[in-house]
Structure 1
Amino acid sequence: MPLYEHVVIVRQDVSSAQVESLASNFADVVKEHGGKVEKTEHWGLRSLAYRIKKNRKGHYVLLNLDAPPAALQELERTERLNEDILRYMTIRVDALEEAPSIMMRNRSDRDDSPRERSNDTDRRPPPKAERAESENAEKEKEKEA
């Protein structure tokens, strides 16, 4: 079966316990249609980039799914009918991540990622005083030669 990452944003008015029950309801829908939920993560109440249906914040929930397309269609239909759901997004992936998602890792753990870091000190031009001194030193060397 195909593998999916499914993220749901729930209204800020809903309590954390209600968000967990919504996530379990969504898991039941997937299981009823022959799929299974590999992992569920509640990312907590986070600020939205822009207002969605008069909400500035939302509870984020990640579901890692191993389900047939029919189960996914039913899950999304259920979410469309629920007024507490602000947005949802499903992405098909090649493999599900076993470790906690990037949102759940500590800041220090994320900084150890293998991506290339830019070193701004190497790119900055030297301060004006140092440039002036180095230019003066070059002019004196030319005069001596």
Structure 2
Amino acid sequence: MAFYEHVLISRPDISPAQVESQIEELAEWLKSQGAKIGKTEYWGLRNLSYPINKQRKGHYSLLNIDGPAAAVHELERRHRISDDVIRYLTVKVDELDEEPSPVMGRKDRGPRKD
């Protein structure tokens, strides 16, 4: 099995609770396909760098996946046909990092000292 980091951007007009349930459903489906989910993170409603489908914001989420390539390909196919998904990106990595991602740690940092 291979390790993947999967970032998902959902439409801004759905609630954070709906995004969480969407991620839980994806995780359950991946588990049924033989994959293991390392960690999931909800990064919140963030501004996009450029408008996508006339949307300027999106709900960002991260999934760490340890699973077969076929399951990841099917996951991406499901994202392509889903109306709730604006964009997704899957990156194959050498190992999964179980620590909080840098996006989550940004809140803990103090002011910059230049």
Give TM-score, length-normalised by structure 1. 0.73
1:55 maps to 55
Is residue 42 from structure 1 mapped to residue 42 from structure 2 by the alignment? yes
Alignment partner of 1:96 is 2:99:
no
1:108 maps to what in 2? 109
Higher strand share: 2
**Does the alignment pair 1:28 with 2:28?**
yes
Moved more, 23-32 or 79-88: 23-32
What is aligned with 1:87? 87
Gaps in structure 2 of 5+ consecutive residues? none
Partners of 2:100 and 2:25 lie apart in 1 by 22
- C-alpha separation between the residues in 2 aligned to 1:51 and 1:87? 12
Aligned partner of residue 103 in structure 2, secondary structure: coil
Alignment size in residue pairs: 111
Deviations for 1:74-114, whole angstroms, at most 9, x for unmatched residues? 111111111010000000011111110000003527x7xxx
Q: Which amino acid aligns with 2:12?
A: Q
- Helix, strand or coil: the match of 1:70? helix
**Sequence identity percentage:** 51
Moved over 4 A (4+): none
Give the TM-score taking structure 2 as reference length: 0.92
Letter of the structure 2 residue corresponding to residue 108 of structure 1: R
Which 5+ residue runs of structure 1 have no aligned equivalent?
Answer: 112-118, 120-145
Kept in 2: contact 1:40–1:64 (CA 8 A):
yes
SS in 2 for 1:104: helix
Higher helix proportion: 1
Alignment of 1:100-139 (within 5 A): 100-105=100-105, 106=107, 108=109
Q: CA shift at 1:25, angstroms?
A: 1.3
Distance 1:51 1:93 in 2: 28
What RMSD over aligned residues (CA atoms) do the two structures have, in Å? 1.4
